[in-house]
Each structure stands twice: as C-alpha cells, then as structure tokens.
Structure 1
Amino acid sequence: MKNLPEPLYLSAREAAAELAISPASLYAYVSRGMIRSEPEPQSRGKRYRAEDVRALKNRRAPPAGVARAGEADMPVLDTAISTITEAGPLYRGVHAVALADHATLEQAATLLWDTSGPDAFAAGNLPVMNAAMCAIVSATAEAAAIERAIAVLALAGDADPTAFNRSADGRARTGARLMRLVAATILKTQPSSLPLHRQIAQGWAPGNAAATDLIRRALVLLADHELNASTYTLRCAISTGLNIYDAAIAGLAALKGPKHGGAGPRAAHLVKDLADGSLASKVRERVSTGERIPGFGHSVYKNGDPRAAYLLAALSKAGAEERLAAEAPSLITEATGLYPNIDYALAVMMRLLGLPIGHETALFAMARTAGWVAHGIEQLRADTLIRPRARYVGPAPRGSTD
C-alpha cells in the first residue's frame, strides 16, 4: 500500500489538536504570522497550512533528552486572560472593542481578574499614601508621569500590610489599590474611589462630557494586550515572588522604552506635523525618503488595528479634525500599505482634548495596570519561576590544553 501524501491544509480542529492548544491560541498564532490561513473553498471557515503547524509543533516540542535551549523565536506562556484576534483583543472571551461601548476600566479589570468575590473597587478600598510617598509626588511634580509613578511604587509595597495577601479576593483588592495609586500619582491628586475615567477627565478635561466618554473607551481598549513587552517583563519579575507593586515597577520601566510606550509621543509629533499644510505633500515627503511613519503598522495586526479603527470613528463623532481622524490615515495607508494603530488614535485623541505630548503614554500606563494585575495574579497562582533558556550561538568549546 502506497504511503498517502501529507495534507497541505488542516482544519481549525485538526490544527489545534495537533498542537494541543485551544482554538483561541491557534488564532493568536495566525495573527502573529506564525501559521498561514486562507478561506476554505465553498465554506465560511478557514484552513491552515499543515507545514506551518508542524514547524511550530517541532519548535515547541524538541526531541526527548534535548534541553529546551530555545523553543521558538518568541517565548510563549499559557494564559486564560486574553488573546489577540483579527477583531482585536479578547478579554476572557469578550471582544474588547465591543466592551468599550459600555464598560468602565474597573469592569474590564474585574473581567480580566476573573473575580466573583466582593467588589475590589468598593469605596473604602483606597491605597495608603504615607508621608514619604506624598513627599515623592511633591518632589517629582515636574518629572515625567512614569518616572513619578515608579518612584512612588518603590515605597508602596512596604506601606501596604496586605501586599502579599494570597487569597483571590485579597489579590484583587490589592490590584484595585495599585490602579488607584498609579492614577493618583500620575494625576498628582489624592487616591479616589471615583471611576478612573472620571478622575482622569476631571484632571485633564474638566466639564467635558465627550472627553469623559472618550477616555473611558480608550481605557478599556488599552486594559490588556496579551504578552507585550511590559506584561512579559512584569510576569518574569513577579514569578520571583515579588508583590504586585514591585512587579508593576518592572512593567512601567519596560513601558518607557521607545519601541513600546514611547511610540505614543512619536505618533503625537506626527499628528502635530500633519495638522497644517498640504497633507498629501507631507505624506509623500515622508514616504519618499523611506522614513518610518510612527503610529502606523503593527507587529500583530497585519490588516489594521481594530482598536484604532474603533477609537478613530468615536473621535470623528466627537468632533476631531477629519484631516487627522480620517484623511491622513487613508492617505498613509494608500501610500504605505500600513494601517493606523492605537498609538496614532491616542495621539489624535490627545490633540482633540488639547493635551500636551506625553499624556498618551500616561493614559496607556493607567489603563494597562488592569492587565498587569491580571497577569500578576495568574503568574502568582502558577507559582513557577519564569526561566527561559538561551539559544547559544557563541564559539564551540575549546580543546583540552593538557
């Protein structure tokens, strides 16, 4: 009997079974470009390249007895918190874009934390800001918001006697205090039990109802985005046994990087440049010189960031300049094939609210604390140290000198 040829394609069920993963994880690999898919002929479903599935399987499962020196090009952790799909991030199975229509950041956090106990955001659950922490806020009033938050968090764990609480409800309550502390520190206010979008609106756009709603939507969209650089950094840090305050410092430090949270200010400078003059000539000049367009393109979303499309549409309805919310993205996408990402949308939003460059990163940090707490809780529950191995590419061992 002749050997049957290997199939070129696998169904979603076959691909997920071969990799021993959930369908959501399969879609995440597709969104990262690690597995190619295409429409199934005469069907509404999709089929997946068998060669890609098996190549990934081989990288994830080295032969017995071989040390896991480097499983794949990117580290992969199992998580039940979120994943990334072509329709945007899913928060425990709920589309973040749909959630942004009505939810607050606190409600998104409760979903991400998978808590069903007492309300962690109850009015009485406020962080303690001792004299030393207040002094730091005062001394760093002119510093960048992220630096100020890092400085205050360095003392927060010692100020909170329940920072190492191991119960599910205790960890959720600590997470809520962390979120409120980071917001208060960035906004230079006292911790409050008001929903965070209202606290931010009062500080940045008082009396502006449209701004309050836009901030609420943006916070929900930014609450989590799977294992991005800052979240993975936080998980590594907290896996050593840190409390969530100290681990959040690691996340904030990673967020400062120009390739992560620092992308927001670059997009804001682009928006400022595009605001006046000939839009077509400005775009043409940047493209013709090979200059990268900040705020456009994404390592995961190849066909556009759904969060950006959603927020830009909301900004247009709220009165943002069509030149920036619609015309510029269309021109740049036509010229480069790249779509606007959430950094560009946030930059347009900050311009609409009349806020200085840098506020987009501060908003990102306040929102992302929700996801960081979720990943911190999950990693603490796993109770394992994250210790990936390196793929050695140095010189071979030298011969004996005997």
Structure 2
Amino acid sequence: MQIGKAGPAVTSICEAHADRIEVRGRDLTRDLMGRVGFTDYFHLLLTGREPTENQRFFLDLLLVAIAEHGLVPTVQAARMTLAADPGSLQGALAAGILGAGPVILGTSELCARLLVELREKEGDPRTVIRETLAEIHASGGKLPGFGHPIHKPVDPRAERILALASERGVAGRHVRLALDIGAIAPEVWGKPLVMNVSMPIAAVLLDLDFAPSMVKAIPLLGRTASLLAHLAEERETPIGFTMAANAEAAVAYRRQGDR
C-alpha cells in the first residue's frame, strides 16, 4: 500500500557500477579521490556542486566551531551507551546523535527558519524584527540562537564567526538580520541576551546560499566527529559508568504519596 504522495523514483547522488562509482556526475576514484578534501566532498554530496573558496572556508570553520563542547548530554548518552555495550560503536554514536534536538545542538535550524521568516516579511527590517520578537516574547516562546548557561556576556564562537564573515566579505542580509535581532532582543525581553553560536551558523550558511532545510546538517556532522572522539576515549579511559553512578546519586528517590 502506498503511503503518502508518490514522487518520481530517482536519485541524483550516487550509482555504483562494476568498474566505477559515480557521485553527483563525477567518477569517485578518477575525479574525486585524491583531488577533493572531505569538506568539499560533503558540500558536493549535499548540494550537487563543489564549493567556492568561501563556502569551503566557512564550512570548515563552522564544523570546527560546533563539533565539541565538553560533556554535554549527547556525549554522556553516547559514552554511557558504549559502557553498557562496548561492542556497539554505531549504537553509542546513534545514541548521541538522537539527542541532538532543538535544546542541544539543533537550534541552528530554528534560527534559519526565523531569519527566513524575517527576510520574507515586508516593511522596515528593524520594525519587522521588533514586532516578531514581541510576538514570540508575549507567547512565552524562546528566541532561538540566544541565551547560554555558560558563555556570558558573549559566546566567543559567535563573535569569531561574525568577525570572520565580515572580514572575508560574506556577511550579507542574514548576518545583518542576526545582528539586528541581537540589538533588539534585549529591549524586548528587558534583560541581556547572549547570541550563541547557533545564530551565526545559520546566518552565514544562508548568506552562502545553503538551503534552510540543510542548516542542521552542519552541527550534526561536526558533532558526529566529536562523539567518535569521546567514544575512542571511553574505550581507553572509561567514565560512562561513573557518570551513570553520579547521576543516580544526585537524584533523590521519592515514594509515591510523599511530598
């Protein structure tokens, strides 16, 4: 039984033959292997095009910026999974990636949606921003790309990304929108709000012509590399069960009916 609307049964990514592998219209072994780096290859896989110099530079930059941030919940989940099943590297990696949602790691996608929404509204950009943020605040919503439990008064990663975007001349409409949001948001919320790394990631990627739907791919790829590093360390110096024990000790048991 067909579920959902049927589309054409085609793919433009890859086809394997007995003597060659074709990826995005290029011969894998004769054209790509030995010529392109992984960042270029990732861009080609994702978009069907090889990157420009700036696209390559900022993909590298953003992957480095977002890959590692200590023993965050996604890392803890991965390490504890490997401790429980040392033979399942792929399962432990999947456990970490499954936790990469809108609270941990995934807010760059929400930032991209907000920037596109603001871009498409008519009127003075700052007025549109103020009205949109006021609606978010009045509804009790959270502003994606702002706030951080550690980095205050600034997120150093966000600062560096924005500085390099300006320096290399790629800061366009979306970066300007992000900066205007950063200036207006504290007025709407009535308190300082730190722009975290997710907003510049989204803004720069959009200014480099990435599709909004693919913005989250960059944090996911970067964090995959980091999780693999943590899992390699977990095999050498295990802390998964230590984290599990500390979590159990930190949480009090409450009997039903107790207050």
TM-score by length of 1: 0.47
1:298 to 148, 157, 162: 148
| Other structure's SS at 2:212 match | coil
1:355 maps onto 2:210 in alignment: yes
1:250 maps onto 2:95 in alignment: yes
Contact 2:165 2:204 in 1 (8 A): yes
How far off is 1:381 after superposition? 0.8
Matches of 2:39 and 2:82, distance apart in 1 = 27
| 5+ residue gaps, structure 2 | 1-8, 13-22
Partner of 1:239: 83
1:227 maps onto 2:80 in alignment: no
Matches of 2:66 and 2:240, distance apart in 1 = 27
TM-score by length of 2: 0.70
Matches of 1:209 and 1:374, distance apart in 2 = 28
Partner of 2:161: 311
Contact 2:170 2:204 in 1 (8 A): no
Partner of 1:326: 179
Contact 2:154 2:195 in 1 (8 A): yes
Partner of 1:279: 129
Alignment-mate amino acid for residue 249 of structure 1: A
Alignment-mate amino acid for residue 353 of structure 1: L
Q: How many residues align?
A: 214
Partner of 2:252: 392
Alignment-mate amino acid for residue 104 of structure 2: H
Matches of 1:340 and 1:265, distance apart in 2 = 15
**What CA deviation, in whole Å up to 9, does each residue of 1:228-272 have, x standing for no partner?**
1211111111122134333211111112x3322432222211111
Matches of 1:289 and 1:282, distance apart in 2 = 11
Q: 1:230 to 1:358 in 2, by over 3 A?
A: farther
Q: 1:384 to 1:210 in 2, by over 3 A?
A: closer
Contact 1:264 1:358 in 2 (8 A): no
- Greater Rg over alpha carbons, structure: 1
Matches of 2:74 and 2:217, distance apart in 1 = 14
Matches of 2:253 and 2:161, distance apart in 1 = 44
Matches of 1:381 and 1:301, distance apart in 2 = 30
Contact 1:312 1:325 in 2 (8 A): no
RMSD, matched Cα:
3.2
| Other structure's SS at 1:272 match | helix
Contact 2:41 2:50 in 1 (8 A): no
How far off is 1:226 after superposition? 0.3
1:366 maps onto 2:232 in alignment: no
Partner of 1:196: 38
Alignment-mate amino acid for residue 146 of structure 2: F
Larger relative helix fraction: 2
Alignment-mate amino acid for residue 130 of structure 2: A
How far off is 1:325 after superposition? 3.9
**What CA deviation, in whole Å up to 9, does each residue of 1:305-332 have, x standing for no partner?**
2111221232333132253242222222
How far off is 1:221 after superposition? 0.7
**What CA deviation, in whole Å up to 9, does each residue of 1:122-175 have, x standing for no partner?**
xxxxxxxxxxxxxxxxx9x79xxxxxxxxxxxxxxxxxxxxxxxxxxxxxxxxx
Contact 2:67 2:224 in 1 (8 A): yes
How far off is 1:192 after superposition? 5.6
1:216 maps onto 2:69 in alignment: no
Q: 1:385 to 1:324 in 2, by over 3 A?
A: closer
Alignment-mate amino acid for residue 372 of structure 1: L
Aligned residue runs from structure 1 range 17-32, under 5 A: none
| Other structure's SS at 1:239 match | helix
